[in-house]
Amino acid sequence: MNERLEGLSPRVAVRLDGVGKVFSRRGHDGTDLVALDRVDLQVMEGEIVGVVGPNGSGKSTLLKVVAGVTAPTTGTARRRGRVAPVLELGTGVHPDLTGRENAALLCSLLEEARRPTADHVNQIIEFAGLEQHVDRPVRFYSTGMLARLAFSVAVHSDASLLLIDEVLSVGDLDFQDRGRARIRELNSNGTTVLLVTHDLSLVTEMCHSAVLLVEGRVEMVGDAESVIDSYVGRPRAITDAGPIELRVNRTGLSPDGALTVHMNLPEGAGSTCVRFDYITQAPALFELVEQSSSLVCATSTIEVVGHGPIRFELSTLGLPRGTYQLHATVEDEDGGSSLFGAVPFDVESARGGYLLDVPTSLSVDRRAVEAT
Amino acid sequence: MADDEVVADDEVVISPARGIEQTFAKRLSSTWPLLIAWTRRDLRVRYRQSVLRSGWSLLQPLTILATYGWVLTAVLDIKPEDAPYLTFAWAGIVPFTFFAQSLSQGVGSIQQAGSVISRIYLPREVFPLSVVAMSGVDLLIMLATLIVVAWIQVGPPTMYLLGLIPVGVVLLIWTVVVTVAAAGLTVFRRDLNFAVPLAMRVLFIVTPVMYPASLVAEQSEWLVRLNPLAVVVEGVRSSVYRAQWPDMQLLGAHFVVAVLCLLVVSIGFRRAEPRMSDFV
């Protein structure tokens, strides 16, 4: 008998043996999509394990296999005890049912239909902070409210294994804090947690260990910090946030009184620069400012001759995670200057907490000016 | 491989062939309560946001009865020999509506529950079965109206009413077989969404619901004997107002075939189930 086919040893909560998942796409472009590729993984009882990796690396599929929602194409998954997937927005809910009815229904589905007591449902609602809306159909709920409800149901079930797929980041800050506290509380009572997230600081903060998935393969398993370091060290593909356009009308700035800033995050692995294109006809000064308005870097005043964009490059995106703003200061015709709105952007997946390590500089690509 | 395996009680194994491995008994025991919970949801949701609410479950068959009844009695002058037209036709409409409603609402039920089945594992037959259960509630209400109508027009119920039990069993098994199979297939190929309404119209015409089975020409009699719904409809008429037992031989044959089909559908459904969430 193959050793792999043995049951779970004591204290093991989840074990994957050579799990592969291929989505065949006959009728589409004909190629199969390999979501998981021979994944071996063992999670001990009472652990919080972070699952990280780029989009499409198979993180959610991994959770689905563990939940038993989809069968692996090869290999076997085993788990012990009852599982509670923290559901994505709107799951299991019917828009015409009230918050209370939905919570009760979700409970029934998770607990194999033991009908929840009114007390239990009240607890869930209170945790979700939805007391005032509980008798309205969830049709009227915001996505944040729905997510809070679903999260709340899962963390109040008696499951011994919690599967969380990026749900924690949906609620407001207050709710996120309560959610984290609740997960810790459950965990200290022995609940095992598998946490899929792009929020790397959450992983370092909460997880005992982490798994890095890349293109369906386990690239690294280990303590959370080293896995994240290895993940962050990889050349990142920054997703295109789309052009963000800022138009401000003020007299005296330029003949048409407008300044436009485009922000494009170029795609492609290895590319780590951000370009801002702006159009102005007045001399301008740009500053990159962190949310707490501490200046990260700034350019000297740029004289623009005529119309046209200036390419603006951050040589690397080694910024700590957070929200940043790009400010523009434009000289008035009479020599004064006025601060111009801001282009906010978020840096989502970068080194957390390495404030000293900011190799960013702003530089202006003059060629772009001259070319236009 | 299962023999050598040491599998603890609370251990769940998820394999390529079957998804979550579970014994038939365990599966059945987890299906029941979920079926009840999901049916309760369906019943609750069904008529929300509508004005007539549960009036709809009677209005639909009554409208069919009124229009077809008028055309068939007043225009085509069809007269059943054994009972007034209302009793006669209602006895056909009641079981037919149960089947038609189960199938037409059940065919998309797994697909519509996509958000649930791609997140939580539930035995997927819960969704079509809960549609059947919901139609079953309607069936009981309509059956009560049928018995009242027959009482008024023909006479009080007799012991032959017990014939409804075997008739009901055959109807139920067939409805479950067809609804579950259709719901499962629709996950992979959406064609049935379009084929089912068409099939229902054909079936309504070839089944002696609005016209007496005795009107069917001799050379077409196989149509009535092979069609389980025709056998059921005739069985209901016998039990409710003809004061005779249904054709037990014919009913028995249909029962055997239905059970065999149920077996085939169960096995096929279980095989297809692990891949369903990849398609919704």
pLDDT digits (tens, 9 = 90+) for A271-305: 334 444 555 555 666 666 655 555 555 555 555 44
Task: Give the SS3 label for residue A95.
Answer: coil
Residue A236, token pair as written in the block: 């990142």
Residue of higher predicted confidence among A103 and B165: B165
Residue of higher predicted confidence among B46 and A329: B46
Which residues of chain A are within 8 Å of residue B274 when distances are taken between CB atoms?
A: 70-71
pTM for the model: 0.74
Verify whether the Cβ–Cβ distance B14 to A97 is below 8 Å: no
Percent of chain A surpassing pLDDT 70: 56
Residue B250's identity, in one-letter code, is L
d(CA A25, CA A75): 21
**Cα distances (angstroms) measured from residue B279 to each of A25, A70, A272, B14:** 10, 10, 37, 19
Residue to test with chain A: of B9, B14, B40, B124, most A Cβ within 10 A: B14
What's the average model confidence in pLDDT over A339-343? 50
Domains: count for chain B: 1
Fold of A3-232: Rossmann fold (3.40.50)
* Residue A367, pLDDT score: 42
* Residue B64, pLDDT score: 81
pLDDT tens for each residue of B151-162: 999 999 999 999
In a domain, B11, yes or no: no
Residue of higher predicted confidence among A264 and A117: A117
Q: How many CB pairs under 8 A join A and B?
A: 122
Give, to the nearest 10 degrees, the angle between helix A99-110 and helix A143-154: 40
What's the average model confidence in pLDDT over B126-138? 94
In a domain, B147, yes or no: yes
* Residue A285, pLDDT score: 61
| Nearest residue to B278 (alpha-carbon basis) of A238, A49, A25 | A25
Q: What is the mean pLDDT of chain B?
A: 89
Cβ count near A126 (within 10 Å): 12
* Residue A28, pLDDT score: 58
Q: Is B145's pLDDT higher than 80? A: yes
Q: Are A218 and A39 in contact (CB under 8 A)?
A: yes
* Residue A319, pLDDT score: 53
- Residue A19: pLDDT band (50, 70, 90) is very high
Which residues of chain B are within 8 Å of residue A85 when distances are taken between CB atoms?
A: 119-120
In a domain, B8, yes or no: no
Smallest Cα distance from B74 to chain A, Å: 43
Verify whether the Cβ–Cβ distance B120 to A91 is below 8 Å: yes
Range in A25-34, A37-46, A326-335, B78-87 the model is least confident about = A326-335
| Nearest residue to B241 (alpha-carbon basis) of B111, B173, B147 | B147
d(CA A209, CA A216): 19
Residue A162, token pair as written in the block: 């919690």
Verify whether the Cβ–Cβ distance A23 to B120 is below 8 Å: no
* Residue A309, pLDDT score: 46
In a domain, B212, yes or no: yes
Residue of higher predicted confidence among B47 and A62: A62
Residue of higher predicted confidence among A179 and A302: A179
What's the average model confidence in pLDDT over A188-204? 88
Which residues of chain A are within 8 Å of residue B4 when distances are taken between CB atoms?
A: 1, 5
Verify whether the Cβ–Cβ distance A101 to B44 is below 8 Å: yes
pLDDT tens for each residue of B227-277: 999 999 999 999 999 999 999 999 999 999 999 999 999 999 999 998 898
Residue B188, token pair as written in the block: 């992979």
Verify whether the Cβ–Cβ distance B5 to A66 is below 8 Å: no
Residue of higher predicted confidence among A21 and A109: A21
pLDDT tens for each residue of B169-203: 999 999 999 999 999 999 998 899 899 999 999 99
Where in the sequence is the domain holding B73, given as residue range(s)? 33-276
Q: Is A364's pLDDT higher than 90? A: no
* The CATH homologous superfamily of the domain defined by A246-371: Macroglobulin (MG2) domain (2.60.40.1930)
Q: Where are the domains of chain A?
A: 3-232, 246-371
Residue A296's identity, in one-letter code, is V
Which residues of chain B are within 8 Å of residue A101 when distances are taken between CB atoms?
A: 41, 44
Helices vs. strands in chain A: H and E counts, helices first = 8, 18
Burial of A366 (0-12, 13-18, 19+ CB in 10 A): exposed
d(CA B233, CA B241): 12
In a domain, B195, yes or no: yes
Verify whether the Cβ–Cβ distance A77 to B49 is below 8 Å: no
Task: Find, in chain A, the residue whose alpha carbon is nearest to that of B15.
Answer: A76
Q: Is A67's pLDDT higher than 70? A: yes
| Phi-psi domain of A195 (left: phi exceeds 0; alpha: psi -120 through 50; beta: other) | beta
Which residues of chain A are within 8 Å of residue B275 when distances are taken between CB atoms?
A: 70-71
Smallest Cα distance from B279 to chain A, Å: 10
Q: Is A41's pLDDT higher than 90? A: yes
Give, to the nearest 10 degrees, the angle between helix B164-188 and helix B228-237: 150
Does ipTM surpass 0.85 in this model?
Answer: no
In a domain, B197, yes or no: yes
In a domain, B25, yes or no: no
Verify whether the Cβ–Cβ distance B8 to A7 is below 8 Å: yes
* Residue B161, pLDDT score: 95
pLDDT tens for each residue of B89-110: 999 999 999 999 999 999 999 9
Sheet of A246-247, strands arranged across: A246-247, A260-264, A274-279, A309-314, A362-365
* Residue A355, pLDDT score: 31
pLDDT tens for each residue of A229-266: 787 765 433 333 333 333 333 333 334 444 444 444 44
Q: Is B42's pLDDT higher than 90? A: no
Angle at A366 between CA A364 and CA A367, to 5 degrees: 130
Residue to test with chain B: of A19, A36, A70, most B Cβ within 10 A: A70
d(CA A148, CA A124): 10
Burial of A288 (0-12, 13-18, 19+ CB in 10 A): buried
